[in-house]
A and B are shown apart, each in its own frame.
Chain A
Amino acid sequence: MRLSGWGQQPEVETRILPWRNPEDAARLVRRHTRLIPRGNGRAYGDAALSAAAVLQGLAGNRILELDLSQGRLRCEAGLLLSDLLAVIIPRGWFVAATPGTRHVTLGGMLAADVHGKNHHRDGGFADSVTDCTVVIADGSTVTISPTCHPDLFHATCGGMGLTGVIVELSCRLSPLPTAGILQQTLVTDSLEATLDLFTQQGHWPYSVAWIDCLARGPRLGRSVLFLGRHATLEEVPPHRQNLQLSTPLRRERLAVPFHPPCWILNRWSLAAFNALYHAHGRRQGTEPVVVPLDGFFYPLDTLSHWNRLYGRRGFTQYQCVLPLEEARRGLRCLLDRTARAGLGSFLAVLKQLGPASGGMLSFPRSGYTLALDFPWTRAALDLLNELDVIVRDHGGRLYLAKDARMTAEMFQAGYPHLDQFREIKARVDPHNRFQSLQSARLGL
Chain B
Amino acid sequence: MNPRPTLLVIGATSDIARAVAHAFAAGGHDLILTARDPRQLERDAADLHHRHGASVTCLALDLLADDTTLANFAAGLNPLPTVVFCAVGLLGDPPRSLDDPDTTRQVMMSNFVGPAQMLTLLARRYRDSGSGTLIGVSSVAGDRGRGSNFAYGSAKAGFSAFLSGLRNHLHPHGVRVMTVKPGFVSTRMTAGLSLPPALTATPTQAAQDIYRAFLRQRDEVYTLWMWRWIMLIIRLLPESLFKRLRL
Contacts and interface: CB of A to CB of B under 8 A. Distances in A.
A211 to B, nearest CB: 39
Contact of B46 (A61, A65, A87): A65
A63 B50 contact: yes
B241 interface: no
Contacts of B46: 62-65
Given A63-B50, A63-B51, A66-B50, A21 B191 contact: no
12 contacts: A18-B191, A62-B43, A62-B44, A62-B46, A62-B47, A63-B46, A63-B50, A64-B46, A64-B47, A65-B50, A66-B50, A83-B51
Dominant secondary structure at the B interface: helix
B27 to A, nearest CB: 15
Contacts of A21: 43
Given A63-B46, A66-B50, 17 more contacts: A20-B188, A21-B43, A59-B15, A61-B47, A62-B43, A62-B46, A62-B47, A63-B50, A63-B51, A64-B46, A64-B47, A64-B50, A65-B46, A76-B43, A83-B51, A87-B50, A87-B51
Nearest to B45: A62
Nearest to A88: B50
Contact size range, A: 10 to 19
A20 B43 CA distance: 11
Contacts of A63: 46-47, 50-51
Interface string B27-65: 000000000000000011011001100000000000000
Contacts of B191: 18
Interface in A59-87: 59, 61-66, 76, 83, 87
Contacts of A83: 51
A62 B19 CA distance: 12
A76 B43 CA distance: 9
Interface in A197-249: none
A66 B51 CA distance: 9
A63 B56 CA distance: 14
A245 to B, nearest CB: 15
A21 B15 CA distance: 12
A88 to B, nearest CB: 10
Contacts of B51: 63, 83, 87
Contacts of A62: 43-44, 46-47
Nearest to A17: B191
Residue with the greatest number of chain B CB neighbours at <10 A, chosen from A65, A66, A83: A66
Nearest to A23: B40
Nearest to B194: A1
The 5 closest A-B pairs by CB, nearest first: A62-B47, A63-B50, A66-B50, A62-B43, A63-B47
A248 to B, nearest CB: 11
Nearest to B188: A20
A76 B50 CA distance: 13
Contacts of A18: 191
Interface in B48-87: 50-51
Contacts of B188: 20
